[in-house]
Amino acid sequence: MSNDLSSELNFALGLADLADAITLPHFTHRTFNVDLKENLTEVTEVDRNTETAIVNAIKQSRPQHAWYGEEHGTGGKSEWTWVIDPIDGTSNFVRGVPVFATLIALVHADLGPVLGVVSAPALHARWWGGTDLGAFRNGQPIHVSTTDNLLDAHGSLTPNSAWNTAGKSQNIHRLQQQLKRERGFGDFWQHMLVADGSIDLAVDAIGLEPYDIAALIPIVHAAGGTLTDRTGIQNWRANSAVSSNGTLHSAVISILNA
């Protein structure tokens, strides 16, 4: 599969270039309007135009593949699907916070996500990885940390009201107390920091969508880590995401589900 994925990786990196050329100038010059979706989350024409450009490129260069995006839904029918989040971190984008990224994943009907690209142009950072391809940040190989004790671990926790609704807020607090250092980096960034060994674990908010997760899984796993839902199951269609260096994963999941 690696030879085939190498070609798909080059294509995905080209899609990321295309996205960055749209998102970064608008972010830098603050040239966009903001609307609210039905769920009251923010969206801009930059989100929509970025996804349109990516989907058009897929239709032209990979007509045999399907696609699934946050803004325009699904199209095509294939065992291979490109899953797209044109701007992960739209609220940051709107407010001038440079922590936003385009997430691009290639998902196989049976194998799940096998390739991921996360491009954060305002951070001057791009991560990618895939099955048998390794994991990279800006072209340099990355690997998760070797921390083997929660008491020595640095983590990112993103509790939200859904954790409270699930009756698990106290577990987030319990995990926080176990860690040496805790911060809330949020969104894609926390999981990429796990992948490149900058932190040891990340617990995301509950309420994620598949396009928030699909691109993260291949990168974290190719870097030697683990990414599952909050119950410990690897599922790119879950509504939660927990990543770690792998060594700490069972301890984190155990605390979250106590």
Q: Which of 141, 160, 187 is the last residue of a domain?
A: 141
Is a pLDDT exceeding 60 seen at residue 23? yes
Q: Which of 116, 141, 166 is the last residue of a domain?
A: 141
Comparing 30 with 222, which gets the higher pLDDT? 222
- Least confident range from 160-169, 214-223, 234-243: namely 160-169
130 lies in the same domain as 154: no
80 lies in the same domain as 177: no
- To which H or E segment does residue 121 belong? none
Q: What is the pTM of this model?
A: 0.95
Under the banding of pLDDT at 50, 70 and 90, the label for residue 51 is very high
The pLDDT tens digits for 128-151 are 999 999 999 999 999 999 999 999
Is a pLDDT exceeding 80 seen at residue 39? no
Under the banding of pLDDT at 50, 70 and 90, the label for residue 36 is low
CB 191 within 8 A of CB 93: no
- CA distances, 160 to each of 8, 91, 97, 172 (Å): 36, 15, 20, 10
Percentage of residues in the chain having pLDDT higher than 90: 84
Under the banding of pLDDT at 50, 70 and 90, the label for residue 38 is low
Instruction: DSSP for 141-203, please give it.
Output: E--------GGG-EEEE---HHHHHTT-HHHHHHHHHHSSEEE---HHHHHHHHHTTSSSEEE
Between vectors from CA 243 to CA 241 and to CA 247, what angle results, nearest 5°?
145
Is a pLDDT exceeding 80 seen at residue 37? no
Pairwise CA distance, residues 222 & 207, whole Å: 25
* Coil, strand or helix at 38: coil
Q: Which of 141, 175, 202 is the last residue of a domain?
A: 141
Which of 75, 45, 71, 53 has its CA nearest to residue 63? 75
What is the mean pLDDT of the segment spanning 216-222? Answer: 98
33 lies in the same domain as 114: yes
Is a pLDDT exceeding 70 seen at residue 40? no
CATH number, residue 48: 3.30.540.10
- Least confident range from 35-39, 184-188, 233-237, 249-253: namely 35-39
Pairwise CA distance, residues 41 & 88, whole Å: 12
What is the mean pLDDT of the segment spanning 23-40? Answer: 80
Percentage of residues in the chain having pLDDT higher than 70: 96
Q: Mean pLDDT across the chain, nearest whole number?
A: 94
Which of 85, 91, 88, 87 has its CA nearest to residue 41? 91
The pLDDT tens digits for 58-96 are 999 999 999 999 888 899 999 999 999 999 999 999 999
130 lies in the same domain as 166: no
60 lies in the same domain as 172: no
169 lies in the same domain as 95: no
154 lies in the same domain as 79: no
The pLDDT tens digits for 94-109 are 999 999 999 999 999 9
187 lies in the same domain as 224: yes
8 lies in the same domain as 71: yes
11 lies in the same domain as 124: yes
pLDDT at 65: 97
242 lies in the same domain as 161: yes
78 lies in the same domain as 187: no
Residues in the chain: 258
Number of independent structural domains in the chain: 2
CATH number, residue 201: 3.40.190.80
- Show the domain range for 114: 2-141
